[in-house]
Structure 1
């Protein structure tokens, strides 16, 4: 019969053998997994940025065509020329500027004029007709000049006051719209964003790139707010920083003519789905630029209105897109995490 010590020894051996037969699950290397995810996210969230402009005015409060100057503080006074002609429609004129329309027409229609000439011919003869025609032309000239003057005053009053409208328009596109990324990259490297002409070209050409790829639009978000010019710089910078914070790095930037570029290589990902383009614009308008946007057609109208604004209305413009390279795009999780407020187009 086994003593107690032997029994205890045999029991211990049996227990050890049983434990060794049990497979213990391996704990994954969470540090390596986290590093892989972070590397992918950084590659996917790289972005491009270009733009320029200034809110500074000259001492007279108006922006002339004499050129831009730099003060000792580094601020720039914007200078603009005014070459905006109205569009004409038959005998009346429609003046369209920044959503406000001014209409002027002739005070005399053709029928009334010929009837008056006939009466004058009967009662006063040829001298009366000559006097009538002279008076008619003087009245027409004065009326036309007054209407032109009213339009000009309203236009300059909106442009040169202390109200600025800051607008933001963001569009999400399917990842297959790689022409958008390559087009914006080429555009940002080509234009001189330190000049007003280059800044306007950047705005118009980026809008054209988006319009030419409208079949890839999926989501959007927009905002437009009028603000006093003293607070405009702070508001604009705040919106810009908010968008830039969504990027891990700016692999391409062209701000006021200063170009910086990094080489980014990242593998293609089957789960990649989206590209996001942001337009941030500060203009001289006195009221918000956008109404309710729900459909692709609404979005096209908003983009066209931005591209068609008078050149001297543009204070600042900034273009941000993510990812910057056509080899990258955002995954669905990255998209809903960083762009939670975007609304699907209907």
Structure 2
């Protein structure tokens, strides 16, 4: 009983101190959450629907031409059976051969015409003095006209040029290519990849998609424990150890270019700065005539925001692996 009274008296005497400690702990927790939150920006547009009308027109023209040619091949005047009986076999064989060759060529052309390639290029850059990549991307997004394919092509071109100008700050890059057999599958996959990348942002602070300009439109809690890209604790520890050994507490910016284009295309494997330049030029060459949709996503969007080593490892594991390859390449 005496001990209980002693504890109560102790709590009464030190109640103010305890409350202050709790307030400090809560404020530190809130501050940590704010620092850990990653802002994100996204700009671009999708034009799958607008392209479908032109493709349907081209397909119908090809079909009508195919019908006309078929009709022309069989619209021959009647001849006397006795006069041409001997020559009918070779002629029939020749006509079947030509007809089959035409059909195969037409089918191949139609298949290739429906192929959609979704290309994604991830680039990691160091946030160092002189690197204005965040400011440049914000400027491009605020000025971009994303209501037209030409406007989206322009912003993608500007982004590629900006990345090329800042390639000296690049520490890692990764490319992926997915081929889809139909426009519907390509569109579905494109939006799926876009949503996955946007879900990594804790907050979208700048959005310009199809000329729908908004700021701070979405704040979310990203579940890193359920993230399919979350790495093992051993790899996290190894990466953190490498960071400590380097003696530099690096901060990063991640830029992602996502495009869907007509036809089958490839990007080079990126093992260094020269490969990155080649990939950027390849993307640039596809924009003018083959673009169906394109986006640029980057995090952090706010200039006073940065990404930590742990964030890179959890959300962008391919970049973390590429970082080691880039370091080896630089030392060669």
Q: TM-score interval w.r.t. the shorter chain?
A: 0.5 to 0.7
Q: Residue 280 of structure 1: SS of its match in structure 2? A: strand
Cα shift readout 1:26-70 (whole Å, capped 9, x = no counterpart): 88765444322111112xx10110000222234452589xxxxxx
In the TM superposition, what are the counterparts of 1:191-230 in structure 2 within 5 Å? 191-228=144-181, 229-230=183-184
Aligned residue in 1 for 2:64: none
- Quickly say closer, same or farther: Cα 1:256–1:158, change in 2 above 3 A: farther
Native 8 Å contact 2:116 2:179 kept in 1: yes
Cα shift readout 1:305-336 (whole Å, capped 9, x = no counterpart): 11122512000001000011222211222222
Aligned residue in 2 for 1:313: 290
Aligned residue in 1 for 2:93: none
Q: Residue 201 of structure 2: SS of its match in structure 1? A: coil
Match of 1:37 among 28, 32, 35: 32
Query: Whole-Å Cα distance in 2 between the matches of residues 215 and 243 of structure 1?
Result: 25
Q: How many residues matched?
A: 232
Q: Residue 268 of structure 2: SS of its match in structure 1? A: coil
4+ runs deviating over 6 angstroms: 26-29
Aligned residue in 1 for 2:200: 246
Aligned residue in 2 for 1:52: 45
Rg larger for: 1
Quote how far apart the aligned CAs of 1:208 are. Answer: 0.5
In the TM superposition, what are the counterparts of 1:261-276 in structure 2 within 5 Å? 261-262=215-216, 273-276=251-254
- Quickly say closer, same or farther: Cα 1:322–1:158, change in 2 above 3 A: farther
1:175 aligns with 2:90: no
Query: Whole-Å Cα distance in 1 between the matches of residues 250 and 57 of structure 2?
Result: 46
Query: Whole-Å Cα distance in 1 between the matches of residues 28 and 119 of structure 2?
Result: 40
Query: Whole-Å Cα distance in 2 between the matches of residues 196 and 63 of structure 1?
Result: 19
Native 8 Å contact 2:131 2:169 kept in 1: no
Q: Which has the higher strand share?
A: 1
Quote how far apart the aligned CAs of 1:193 are. Answer: 0.9
Native 8 Å contact 1:158 1:284 kept in 2: no
Native 8 Å contact 2:156 2:294 kept in 1: yes
Runs of at least 5 residues in structure 1 that lack an aligned partner in the other structure: 1-11, 21-25, 65-152, 264-269
In the TM superposition, what are the counterparts of 1:87-98 in structure 2 within 5 Å? none
- Quickly say closer, same or farther: Cα 1:158–1:315, change in 2 above 3 A: farther
- Quickly say closer, same or farther: Cα 1:221–1:30, change in 2 above 3 A: farther
Could you tell me the TM-score, scaled by structure 1's length? 0.60
Q: Residue 286 of structure 2: SS of its match in structure 1? A: coil
- Quickly say closer, same or farther: Cα 1:159–1:251, change in 2 above 3 A: farther
Quote how far apart the aligned CAs of 1:220 are. Answer: 1.7
Native 8 Å contact 1:158 1:285 kept in 2: no
Q: Residue 39 of structure 1: SS of its match in structure 2? A: helix
